Amino acid sequence: MPHGPNILGRTGMVTAALLAVVWPSAGAAPAPKANTNFIASAADLKARIPGQLRVTRPDFVVFVPEITDERVNDTGNEHFLVFDGPDGSLMAVWTQSSAESQPDQHIAFSRSDDEGKTWTKPRTIAGPQKPGDGHMASWGYPLVSKAGRIYVLYSQHIGKHDNFVHHTGWLHGICSDDQGRTWSAPQNIPLPRSRNDHPDTNMPPNMLCWQKPLRLGKDGRYFAGFTRWTSFAVRPNPTKSWISADSRVEFMRFENVDENPPVKDLRITWFAANEKALAVPFPGHPEVSACQEPTVVKLPDGRLFCVMRTAAGSPFWSVSADTGETWSQPRRLLRRDGGEPLLHPLSPCPMYDVGGNEAGSGRYALFIHNHDGHYQGYKPTDTSFHRRPIYIVRGRFQAGADQPVWFDEPQFFMDHHGVSLGKPGTNGRLDLALYSSFTCRNGRPVLWYPDRKFFLLGRILPIEPSVAPDSASRP
């Protein structure tokens, strides 16, 4: 703090010094609280790992960052998508970096040939190995053709951004015909412009697809929802917090994956675009929407059910009766018709079909924080701190109901001890933002998830309430 003019004079200064010696506590400010989140060095981070690796009780460990003074570009791990490889293996792609949105952000790939017990050392398949090697690549997602070609599409940064640096990018992709051993050169997939994109057509859009596309579209084609963040040039953010930036949910269907075209020739049909995009008003600012990160499941009657995160204190839902081409107006997610709302802040809230991603079994698992963002003294804008713990909420299809999936009481699923993890020299991360994926192989449902966007882990889901974890299992 800058010093003001000396109004004490020499005598007053001496007197003040004497008082401080005789009564050292008189008027003294309390000692500053130590920042226990700060990660001082690679050694400090390595010391945290043994006590934190299994605190969320994983059944599988996919990746633990290598911690050396020279290598810190793998301490950020998120957007973790595990999928069935065409050769019967498990495969995974995720977004990796030293920390989210840093210039070294890239797409990593790994595989397991023993049902997830062990995994190969990850390889960078798109984006820079280190800052300066090229522009960041983010948010990759897989599609596998019936003939076995693996596509990975992702957002390619070009050196300029619109609203947020890690959101803006063209849709690029690569493919592999040898089970991921080698990959094609990147190619661009042309995108139609949205009225919510920047008016300058040279500025890429802000589009994030956060879940695996599934064969839920017409004739079994790949289908997915995605978030389009509106350009600030179109709709400025009305508050100082990022959570009020305008965002809406749209959908896409991949028409010709099974024809094995080059990446650039993939054809995509877009639904709920422009004025039809799904929107949920931001509290206090109804002119903007905060509606993001859709998860889509199939209902036993053939409809599609979508759950989205919002800033309204709850997830919202929508339903489609025509395999995703049109959608109902989003509504607050309740436990059941006429019941209490499920509470959740602006944080991922994935929902999976426990019978299999495309099964339409009528049995579902939803993951929420079970609070509306007011948590341990934090507010909804404090997203680095309130995105925990994780609760599992079992859902069941209700034929003839208004809200077609009804939910049981939320049950505690996992948390950690409040220890931060991440890049040395930073405060690391405390959030359990569930940028996860799901597989069901041999009748075993597995949630694959990042812990504090650091570890990549897997956990077998309890199917019946009688084997569900309870509050006694909290760390």
pTM score of the predicted model: 0.91
Query: What is the C-alpha to C-alpha distance for residues 154 and 137, in angstroms, rounded to an integer?
Result: 7
**Cα separations in angstroms, 88 against 84, 179, 395:** 7, 10, 29
Peptide bond into 350 cis (omega under 30): no
Q: Residue type for 81, please? A: L
Digit-by-digit pLDDT tens for the chain (475 residues) are 443 333 333 334 333 333 333 333 444 555 567 899 999 999 999 999 999 999 999 999 999 999 876 667 899 999 999 999 999 999 999 999 999 999 999 999 999 999 999 999 999 999 998 888 999 999 999 999 999 999 999 999 999 999 999 999 999 999 999 999 999 999 999 999 999 999 999 999 999 999 999 999 999 999 999 999 999 999 999 999 999 999 999 999 999 999 999 999 999 999 999 999 999 999 999 999 999 999 999 999 999 999 999 999 999 999 999 999 999 999 999 999 999 999 999 999 999 999 999 999 999 999 999 999 999 999 999 999 999 999 999 999 999 999 999 999 999 999 999 999 999 999 999 999 999 999 999 999 999 999 999 999 999 998 764 333 333 344 5
- Which tokens in the block code for residue 168? 């803006």
Q: Is residue 296 within a helix (H) or strand (E), and if so which, with residue range?
A: strand 291-298
Strand segments (E) across 230-314: 247-254, 268-271, 281-282, 285-289, 291-298, 304-310
Total length of the chain? 475
Neighbours of 265 (CB within 10 A): 12
End-to-end CA distance of the chain: 41
CB 308 within 8 A of CB 280: yes
Q: What is the pLDDT of residue 73?
A: 85
In sequence order, the 6+-apart residues with CB closer than 8 A to the CB of 319 are 299, 303, 304, 305, 306, 327, 328, 404
